[in-house]
Amino acid sequence: MAHAVKELYPGTRLAIGPAIADGFYYDVDCNRSLTEDDLQRIEKKMEEIIRADRPFVRRELPRAEALKLFQQLGETYKVELINELDGETVTVYEEGDFVDLCRGPHLKSTGEVRAFKLLSVAGAYWRGDERNKMLQRIYGVSFPTEEALRKHLEFLEEVKKRDHRRLGKELDLFSLSDDIGAGLVLWHPRGAAVRRVIESFWLDEHYKAGYEILYTPHMAKLGLWETTGHLDFYRENMYSPMEVEGTDYEIKPMNCPFHVSVFKSSLRSYRNLPLRYAELGTVYRYERSGVLHGLLRVRGFTQDDAHIFCTEEQIDNEVLKVLEFTIFILRTFGFTDYDIYLSTRPDKYVGTDEGWEKATNALRKALHHRGLRHEIDPGEGVFYGPKIDIKVRDSLGRQWQCSTIQVDFNLPERLDISYRGPDSRDYRPIMIHRALMGSLERFFGVLIEHYSGAFPLWLSPVQASILPIAERHIEYGRIVLNSLKESGIRADLDDANEKIGYKIRKATMLKTPYMCIIGDRESANNTVNLRKRTGENAGEMSIEKLISFLKEEIKNRR
């Protein structure tokens, strides 16, 4: 591709072009702003190069010689890269009159490329730094067969259809506004309805699981973040402080220190432990505008956060409980496939080796106990303790990081918390941070894509739409609507002066699970004609039967 670009657009300089998880890209510095048409031209040129079946030749050059070569070619980005490489020699690959800096390996010849497609072009700063020049990044994919390529393109089409930003607009769930600010989410009534269901399910289950619920402020004195160490290791993600009556305050990037303060507010005995504090806590973190993405990467979000304070003997049991709780919650939302990672001690860490071993073992034991397959991420733990990350697989098999369970040796020490043991001496409790859904914003984004906007009944913004066939059925429609609402079912009535076919299409577009069609017959019989969003007809039924039918499905959370 790089060769084709250089032939078509002389003077183009090449930056970096790696293989990535889902294809490849090349960043190019080209005078022309590349369009869809250009991508097609590049593809044609690539086909010519492939047909020529020229061998790729690998050469090892002394660094000085390589520098000279790329200087002569005017490839300034390559020169910069070579200057940073270690070693006496660098490798280049050649094909025809094209030469590129590359570690390799390569195919034997251009003719071995079977099926490929260029997908898109987007702006990308040299080295991802917005102070540098904006280059053009061309994305593509390549497969060993046309069939595999076709399958992948179909998958991409499906991904596009499910894009939560697109569905968020179509289904009127949420928006992001330039007036408000980048990465700050507005939940519309229909999205907020889903969130309310998620939150109340979350609350009920947390009370059942022995958690206590907290509410904490959105800001705190800067000094607090100094004590916790956030100013040392988390500053990049924090906003500038604001001054209030001569004291600096900081908007919170995390909820942890607040929960610790509640713990600290009275003398704790070993009899009080474990203490489990949970909060739907809204935090604000700085992310560069370039990495913000719909609901998936935002600047303000609500974590389903909790902190468990326990004794060392209680870690095993607490971790196991959290793990079981996580899996129960994820399953309820329809995620049955996970990838689990256990991250162990990094090079830089706080706490004792013995403590790390104990905590890591507790995490490992809990995974084994549940028979959960997991991978080890060596050295990828946080500096304050080991952790388990759970990534869910959605209906397209894509991985999403949601849940995290982290043991912390740092904060109890830093904030100096203790509990009184049976021997009347003071001990440091162990702290476990955990978030099951991660953030509500992100989780909602994943849910939208997982279900392609067609939420199961219990989560649907509107569970049933009442669709009167004619004007004269509206009054009976109101009676049905009130009955449903009184039973706690989220329902609406389409009283617009439109044909029934159009009303059905509208409700189907909104992915409303059930449509209650009412005409002369239904009004006379006190019934509705029930239709599913799939188009299937569930037949005529009484209002009472309808309510118990819907309630049963809601209760089962299917």
Active site residues: 256, 285, 303, 305, 307, 387, 433
* Cβ atoms of 371 and 398 closer than 8 Å: no
Residue with tokens 């709780």: 325
Q: Is 433 in the site for Zn ion (CB under 5 A)?
A: yes
Stretch that binds Zn ion, among 38-46, 103-111, 183-191, 427-435 (CB under 5 A): 427-435
Beta carbon of residue 305, minimum distance to Zn ion (angstroms, whole number): 6
Name the residue nearer to Zn ion (CB basis): 256 or 315. 256
Name the residue nearer to Zn ion (CB basis): 155 or 234. 234
CA–CA dist 374, 372 (Å, integer): 6
Please list every residue from 249 through 308 that binds Zn ion, using CB under 5 A. Answer: 256
Stretch that binds Zn ion, among 211-219, 241-249, 425-433, 518-526 (CB under 5 A): 425-433
Beta carbon of residue 375, minimum distance to Zn ion (angstroms, whole number): 24
Name the residue nearer to Zn ion (CB basis): 281 or 445. 281
Stretch that binds Zn ion, among 125-133, 219-227, 242-250, 431-439 (CB under 5 A): 431-439
Name the residue nearer to Zn ion (CB basis): 404 or 529. 404
Per residue, the 3-state secondary structure of 417-477, as one string, reads CCEECCCCCEECCEEEEEEEEEEHHHHHHHHHHHHCCCCCHHHCCCCEEEEECCHHHHHHH
Tokens for 491? 């329902």
Helix count and strand count (H, E) for the chain: 18, 28
Tokens for 57? 């030749």
User: Mask: binding to Zn ion, 228-257, rule CB under 5 A, as x and -?
Assistant: ----------------------------x-
Q: Is 30 in the site for Zn ion (CB under 5 A)?
A: no
Handedness of CA 349, 350, 352, 356 (dihedral sign): negative
Beta carbon of residue 433, minimum distance to Zn ion (angstroms, whole number): 3
Name the residue nearer to Zn ion (CB basis): 101 or 431. 431
Beta carbon of residue 252, minimum distance to Zn ion (angstroms, whole number): 11
Q: Is 137 in the site for Zn ion (CB under 5 A)?
A: no
Can the peptide bond before residue 105 be classed as cis, meaning omega within 30 degrees of 0?
yes
Stretch that binds Zn ion, among 60-68, 291-299, 429-437, 472-480 (CB under 5 A): 429-437
Beta carbon of residue 255, minimum distance to Zn ion (angstroms, whole number): 6
CA–CA dist 359, 430 (Å, integer): 9
Exposed, middle or buried by CB within 10 Å (0-12, 13-18, 19+), for 378?
Answer: exposed
CA–CA dist 338, 371 (Å, integer): 13
Tokens for 92? 């280049």
Name the residue nearer to Zn ion (CB basis): 255 or 523. 255
CA–CA dist 302, 280 (Å, integer): 6
For Zn ion, how many residues bind (rule: CB under 5 A)? 2
Which residues contact Zn ion by CB under 5 A? 256, 433
